[in-house]
Structure 1
Amino acid sequence: MTRADDEERLARAALSRTLEPGDELGGGWLESHGAVATVRALAEDRPLPGADPQRWAGLRLRAAAARPGEDLARAAEAGGRFLCPGDAEWPGQLDDLGPARPVGLWVRGTASLRLAALRSVAVVGARACTEYGAHMASVLGAGLAERGWTVVSGAAYGVDGAAHRGALAVGGATVAVLACGVDVAYPPGHRELIARVAEQGLLVAELAPGDHPTRPRFLLRNRVIAALTRGTVVVEAETRSGSLVTARWATRLGRQPMGVPGPVTSGLSAGVHRMLRDGAGLVTDPADVVELVGRMGELAPEPATPVLPRDLLHPDTARVLEALPARRAVTVDWLARASGTPPEPVRARLHELRALGFVDCVRGHWQLSAGSH
């Protein structure tokens, strides 16, 4: 696909005000007729296949009100731009959405969206998350960014905001996919965070400048989050959650769904646990995520196991130590029978254990020292 020309760009900008995100019927028109022909059909009232009269009339009202040239100028004033399929900066993985592919993307920020999305992971979850959820999202955001991964989320309260902040804190790349225009700070309480993402990363939206979010738009933007990234990590989600919608889109698109487990008594982790039961990858730190979505060989390190002093004992010495009763002193002969070791080697091992502080000898009987129980 070649880079969009000016007429194509204007037509797609107009359609970003006319069609709702994820409109597969409209997406089918774009595939069959192209953006310019679709805009002309709306202007000339030539209904395209599949549109009932009421819907077609509603689309025509929207199309008549669209001012794509003004929208492009408004975006440019805010430091933004409008990307079309075929542009050098367009992330090709979005094409996996088929007819549900965005008409175009409004973008704010200086980085290249295509390059940022090449090594990216979505971190999403509950808005009303617990301290544990916020902590895990922040740790994942920071750890992934430090490893050169772009952290993608939705700039919402709770897990989304924590993931963005984690990436920003270490100077990493992060992308916020919004359910409104890129010049709209939503939620309002995240105005400063959204401005920081625009400076250090990218803001991305399907909706034209000035557009405000609706509940369906939040759910529909989740498909873009899933399609942009190699995998989606869910940190806390109830059984009915928009975050689970993102994970389902990830699965449908052949991306890796992942979940961070939480307390089994927490309703906020019930949705994640269901994901894990259904086969999502269980992750507890950034290394786990990279192992699942990274290149071959990017393996998470084996978890460190604490080494105890008795782990360093010779196996014969350890066998004698394990044979000693917990609460009474015994003779060498008793210990020889219990450990299956001749008396002389037992005596030598006991002296070794006493030097190391594991056992004491009291009137010819041997017992565990106070710190060995």
Structure 2
Amino acid sequence: MSPLVPHIVPELEMMKRYPSELFYRGDLRLLDRPKVSIVGTRTPSLYTQQMTQDIAKALARRGVCLVSGAAMGVDALVHEAAGTENTIAVLGCGLDIRYPVINSALIASIEKNGLLLSQFNDGFRATNWSFVVRNELVVALGEILIVTEADSRSGSLRSVEFAQKMGKKIFVLPQRLGESRGTNRLLFEAEAEAIYDIEAFASTFGKAVDDNVTKDEFFYFCQTMPTLDQAVKEFGERVYEAELEGVVTIRNGIVCLQ
């Protein structure tokens, strides 16, 4: 049997009802990372595919953990672009079941390197109802919700409803008229903001760093641009070692990531 998450996850307090059971497989430390939820259609256009990957990669370079639902299309693109070690997949079935089958290898990689979550015990097979439950959990985990493409009947719009009830900001991609009618309607009705510049958007989550920089507790602390005194108090000589390695700079008494 998959183990239960052994502690309260603060973000989930925003759900209508905190999960009575929350099963996991993988690295629970990802729950402590800054997190963004991205969802969308199972049949994204080529434009949406590219932009979804670009957004996920830009956020991952800033140490943001990407959350999605392991479905075909946008979900899978998010998990892959973020890197399976930097993503949380929420399933609408038991964690012992690989669904959808086409994403079996991806889900197995996330279990090994990232984190799988589910409110359903091993052996439970997905239903229309369980996908709705999954969607609420996906939305609750992220600081914001990004919907990269959704038509007017898309299940992703149910995720939008959850985000609105939780008071979370919603972002969408600008799309052509007649396409992605669901997200275009959100823009028209001022219920979402458009991402026009991916790097500018991602920069609100911190400074991008090379993939070879370890994104650990020290990294996240330095994203806050602490004073030198604060950094030394928390991490001691690690601060000066990081400066010599070119990971951080110290300017006017402030520690900044390079």
TM class by shorter chain equals 0.7 to 0.9
SS of residue in 1 equivalent to 2:145: strand
Q: 51, 76, 92: which one pairs with 1:161?
A: 76
User: Structure 1 residue 186: deviation in Å?
Assistant: 0.4
Q: 273, 285, 292: which one pairs with 2:184?
A: 273
Q: Is the CA contact (8 Å cut-off) linking 2:62 and 2:207 kept in structure 1? A: no
TM-score normalised by the chain length of structure 1: 0.52
Q: Report what 2:115 is aligned to.
A: 202
Do structure 1's residue 93 and structure 2's residue 8 form an aligned pair?
A: no
Q: Report what 2:134 is aligned to.
A: 221
Looking at both structures, which has the greater relative contact order when contacts are Cα pairs under 8 Å and sequence separation is at least 6?
2
User: Structure 1 residue 167: deviation in Å?
Assistant: 0.7
Q: 1:196 to 1:286 in 2, by over 3 A?
A: farther
User: Structure 1 residue 220: deviation in Å?
Assistant: 2.2
Q: Report what 1:324 is aligned to.
A: none
Amino acid at match of 1:213: A
Q: 1:299 to 1:197 in 2, by over 3 A?
A: closer
Any stretches of 5+ residues in structure 2 without a counterpart?
209-258
Larger relative helix fraction: 1
Query: In the TM superposition, what whole-angstrom CA distance separates every residue of 1:290-327 from its partner, at most 9, and x where no partner exists?
Result: 466x4xxx599xxxxxxxxxxxxxxxxxxxxxxxxxxx
CA RMSD of aligned residues (A): 2.0
Query: In the TM superposition, what whole-angstrom CA distance separates every residue of 1:160-215 from its partner, at most 9, and x where no partner exists?
Result: 101111011xx751000110011111000100000111122100000001111001
Pair member with larger Rg = 1
SS of residue in 1 equivalent to 2:28: coil
Q: 245, 256, 261: which one pairs with 2:174?
A: 261
Do structure 1's residue 107 and structure 2's residue 18 form an aligned pair?
A: no
Kindly report structure 1 stretches of 4+ aligned residues shifted beyond 4 Å.
none
Do structure 1's residue 283 and structure 2's residue 191 form an aligned pair?
A: no
Q: Is the CA contact (8 Å cut-off) linking 1:139 and 1:285 kept in structure 2? A: no
SS of residue in 2 equivalent to 1:176: strand
Q: 1:215 to 1:82 in 2, by over 3 A?
A: same
Amino acid at match of 2:5: L
Q: Report what 2:155 is aligned to.
A: 242
Q: 23, 42, 61: which one pairs with 1:146?
A: 61
Amino acid at match of 2:45: T
Whole-angstrom distance in 1 between the partners of 2:19 and 2:105: 27
Q: 1:159 to 1:285 in 2, by over 3 A?
A: farther
Query: In the TM superposition, what whole-angstrom CA distance separates every residue of 1:216-247 from its partner, at most 9, and x where no partner exists?
Result: 21122111111111011001100111111112
Whole-angstrom distance in 1 between the partners of 2:54 and 2:88: 17
User: Structure 1 residue 270: deviation in Å?
Assistant: 0.8
Aligned length: 207
Q: Percent identity over the alignment? A: 32
Any stretches of 5+ residues in structure 1 without a counterpart?
1-73, 76-80, 301-373
Q: 1:286 to 1:150 in 2, by over 3 A?
A: farther
